[in-house]
Amino acid sequence: MLGFGRPAYSGSSTGGGSTPSRARVTIGGLSYGYGAKGDHVTRVGRALVAKGFGKHYSEGPGPNWTDADTLNYAAFQRSLGYSGSDADGVPGPASLARLLGATPGKPALAPFPGAAWFRDEPRSPLITAMGRRLVAEGCGRYADGPGPQWTDADKRSYAAWQRKRGFGGADADGWPGKATWDALKVPAV
């Protein structure tokens, strides 16, 4: 049967060789469904467990979306009255909003504070956020940190980021510029 009677997956979850949906969607700039990764996946899993839909977890939830997330999410969708392809275990904006209380969006990003701001050696949570992003991008050159105080380690790390982005010479001097700042996607603090 198409539509009304289609189960969330073919076969059973305990054998038969069939697997839950492998679909993935993007909602508010974040990926959900099999193979998605991130803190937002953990947040969905924890919300499912809190609402009583965690029986398929043997470990977790998160940060990687697995078959357990799909099966638990499908059970949650069915509890909302969804059926067929609407209960396939892959979030849609409406069910995700019902689970989390709001549809998540892209995280707010910090605007470029200006080159002069960095030359004043600021102390700010924004420096810590920048440093964490540099580490996540494989450009961290920190013995300690990152921390809130702008240091030579921040400058070395930012220079590594500039080189990773294809800049060289004086354009990879470690002083942030708008283009590389925007590409780094530092979260607002």
Q: pLDDT by residue (tens digit) across 68-103?
A: 999 999 999 999 999 988 899 999 988 999 999 876
169 domain residue, yes or no: yes
Decide if 4 is inside a domain.
no
Highest mean pLDDT among 8-17, 38-47, 106-115, 159-168: 159-168
Q: Same domain, yes or no, for 60 and 122?
A: no
Type of residue at 136: A
Identify whether residues 94 and 45 lie together within a single domain.
Answer: yes
Is 2 among the domain residues?
A: no
Q: Tell me which residue range forms the domain holding 156.
A: 115-184
- Look at residue 76 and tell me if it is in a domain: yes
User: Does residue 82 share a domain with residue 51?
Assistant: yes
Residues 57 and 121 reside in one and the same domain:
no
pTM: 0.50
45, 81: one domain:
yes
pLDDT of residue 106: 59
- Residue 177's pLDDT is what? 96
Letter string b/e over residues 165-183, b meaning 16 or more CB atoms within 10 A of that residue's CB:
eebeeeebebbbbeebbee
pLDDT: is 14 or 111 the higher one? 111
Same domain assignment for residues 133 and 96: no
Note whether residue 121 is domain-resident: yes
Same domain, 33 and 84: yes
Q: Could you give the CA distance from residue 155 to residue 164 in angstroms, rounded to a whole number?
A: 14
- Our count of domains for the chain comes to 2
- CA dihedral sign of residues 157, 163, 165, 170: positive
Looking up tokens 């189960």, which residue turns up? Answer: 7
Residues 36 and 63 in one domain: yes
Confidence of residue 135 (pLDDT cuts 50, 70, 90): very high
Helix (H, G, I), strand (E, B) or coil at 32: strand
What is the model's pLDDT at position 148?
A: 96
Q: Output the domain CATH number for residue 68.
A: 1.10.101.10
Amino acid 3: pLDDT: 30
Quote the radius of gyration of the chain (alpha carbons, Å): 22
Mean pLDDT of 4-16: 33
